[in-house]
Amino acid sequence: MPSRPIDVALKIAKERGLNQTAFAAKLGATSADVSNWKKRGMPADRHLDVAMALGISVDALFAGIPNVVPAPIGGRSIPVISAIQAGMWCEIVDQFQPGDADEYLLTDLELSAHAFALTIRGDSMLPEFNPGDRVIIDPEVAPHPGDFVAAKNGEQEATFKKYRPRGMDAQGNMVFELVPLNDDYPTLRSDIQPIRIVGTMVEHRKYRRAR
């Protein structure tokens, strides 16, 4: 019976029809990464990612192959990209390949192939969104009133704000506002400056802040 977490993970992956390359891609890693883990052991910070990808508990990685392997929960790797990349996402997404991002988030949500994640910067969305929080954005989800969106407002970078529609203009185009939750920042309007919605938030991950 395999004893190391990487050995347990590879055995379960094989039983589910995943070769080493497919297993690595599911984690947002490379086959070379997995080969390195086989030699030196799996890094502790990847245990949760591997467990989620295989639909097992982290404990199962250390307890050997369980007698009953839970059904897969359907993990998916979402690239964490920069605000600049998000601003150009419509142009670069089709060229974006697995492994191009430095970091990935795992989710079991049913999302489009173009979904991505952003790290919240600054304090314009306090108190609900803290710096360092992560949000997953799906470009193929249309926003509803009150949703949070990533948008491009003429700057190079994308911004993250609350979406508030304001009705149609004379040309039949939807006029909307991008509203910060922090009143110290201005609201943006699509009839005053060009704004393009990049995608709608489908998941928000908060992280404990150091005291």
Model confidence band, residue 165 (pLDDT cutoffs 50, 70, 90): very high
Q: Write out pLDDT tens, residues 103-116.
A: 778 887 889 888 88
* Fold topology of 77-205: Umud Fragment, subunit A (2.10.109)
Return the pLDDT at 105.
82
For residue 181, pLDDT beyond 60: yes
- Write down the mean pLDDT value for the chain: 81
Return the pLDDT at 32.
92
Return the pLDDT at 61.
79
Specify the domain boundaries for CATH 1.10.260.40 within the chain: 5-65
The whole-angstrom separation of Cα 84 and Cα 91 is 12
Q: Write out pLDDT tens, residues 122-161.
A: 899 999 999 889 999 999 999 999 999 998 877 767 889 9
Choose between 150 and 86: higher pLDDT: 150
Return the pLDDT at 90.
47
Choose between 35 and 99: higher pLDDT: 35
Specify the domain boundaries for CATH 2.10.109.10 within the chain: 77-205
- Across the range 13-42, mean pLDDT stands at 89
For residue 76, pLDDT beyond 90: no
Model confidence band, residue 185 (pLDDT cutoffs 50, 70, 90): very high
Domain 5-65 has CATH 1.10.260.40: yes
Choose between 80 and 62: higher pLDDT: 80
| HEC secondary structure over the chain | CCCCHHHHHHHHHHHCCCCHHHHHHHCCCCHHHHHHHHHHCCCHHHHHHHHHHHCCCHHHHHHCCCCCCCCCCCCEEEEECCHHHHHCHHHHHHHCCCCCCCCEEEECCCCCCCCEEEECCCCCCCCCCCCCCEEEEECCCCCCCCCEEEEECCCCCEEEEEEEEEEECCCCCEEEEEECCCCCCCCEECCCCCCEEEEEEEEEECCCCCC
Query: Is-contact 89 146, C-beta < 8 A?
Result: no
Residues 6+ apart with CB under 8 A from 6: 34, 37, 38, 41, 42
Model confidence band, residue 209 (pLDDT cutoffs 50, 70, 90): low
pTM for the structure as a whole: 0.63
Query: Is-contact 126 132, C-beta < 8 A?
Result: no
Model confidence band, residue 93 (pLDDT cutoffs 50, 70, 90): very low
Model confidence band, residue 28 (pLDDT cutoffs 50, 70, 90): confident
Angle at the Cα of 36 (from 134 to 39), degrees rounded to 5?
Answer: 135
